[in-house]
Amino acid sequence: EPEVTQTPSHQVTQMGQEVILHCVPISNHLYFYWYRQILGQKVEFLVSFYNNEISEKSEIFDDQFSVERPDGSNFTLKIRSTKLEDSAMYFCASRGQVSSYNSPLHFGNGTRLTVT
Amino acid sequence: GQQLNQNPQSMFIQEGEDVSMNCTSSSIFNTWLWYKQDPGEGPVLLIALYKAGELTSNGRLTAQFGITRKDSFLNISASIPSDVGIYFCAGQLYSGSARQLTFGSGTQLTVLP
């Protein structure tokens, strides 16, 4: 079964550094998402992306965050200047073939970001 | 923003017992989803519900979309050790093309041998 693939599985960075998290969504999916989960808490929506632009973003997704689909397969999340509170699991998700209105989200296994 | 109340927060049950958990919301959703998350992994979809009143099964799992569209429950029958994990409900509201998910806070299930 097709999977959403995320790399790296664990990223350690120093406060103030830039990080880029990588995702390869399921091919032929059209909608892409980033969610995060702080340790022990629920999964929170960050941003959705469709047709090469952001569709919706949460209040968490401030100017330090950006997303990009640099080619036909990758979907990246960049944090420009990391803060300690950015430490979390970051999940990429994708959804939807062309004709599927109700298609559910499929999640990757996440990247654990640790900011020191 | 929309919030989901998921209960219980944690459960300790004996192997073979049935389990029930639920989610409620103050606002309606168009879709209810149930995910399971194992340690260090991403949420894995268990059941998706698309119509109010819908009752759907997936093996030993059964979930229902509440008639008011503001709640859902998940039942697991005859639990086994591999059922251990965190179960999340998620509501989806169609708003344009985004259709983001709102997650509940999770139910941590422990199955005792």
Residue of A nearest to B4 (CA): A42
List alpha helices for A21-77, DSSP H.
none
User: Quick check: A2 pLDDT over 80?
Assistant: no
Specify the pLDDT at position A99: 46
Instruction: Read off the DSSP letter of residue B82.
Output: G
Residue of B nearest to A10 (CA): B40
Q: Residue B2 and residue B113: Cα distance in Å, rounded?
A: 38
Specify the pLDDT at position A70: 86
Specify the pLDDT at position B21: 97
Tens digit of pLDDT for each residue in B70-92?
Answer: 999 999 999 999 999 999 999 98
Non-local (6+) Cβ contacts of B58 within 8 A are B46, B47
Q: Which residues of B touch A106 (CB under 8 A)?
A: 45
Q: Which residues of A touch B105 (CB under 8 A)?
A: 41-42
Tens digit of pLDDT for each residue in A55-88?
Answer: 889 999 999 999 999 887 899 999 999 999 999 9
Specify the pLDDT at position A60: 93
Specify the pLDDT at position B95: 54
Specify the pLDDT at position B113: 87
A105:B103 CB<8 A: no
Specify the pLDDT at position A71: 86
Q: CB-based contact (8 Å) between B50 and chain A?
A: yes
Tens digit of pLDDT for each residue in A87-110?
Answer: 999 999 998 754 455 677 889 999
Which of B4, B33, B99, B108 to mutate to probe the A interface, most A CBs <10 Å?
B99
Identity at A54, one-letter amino acid code: I
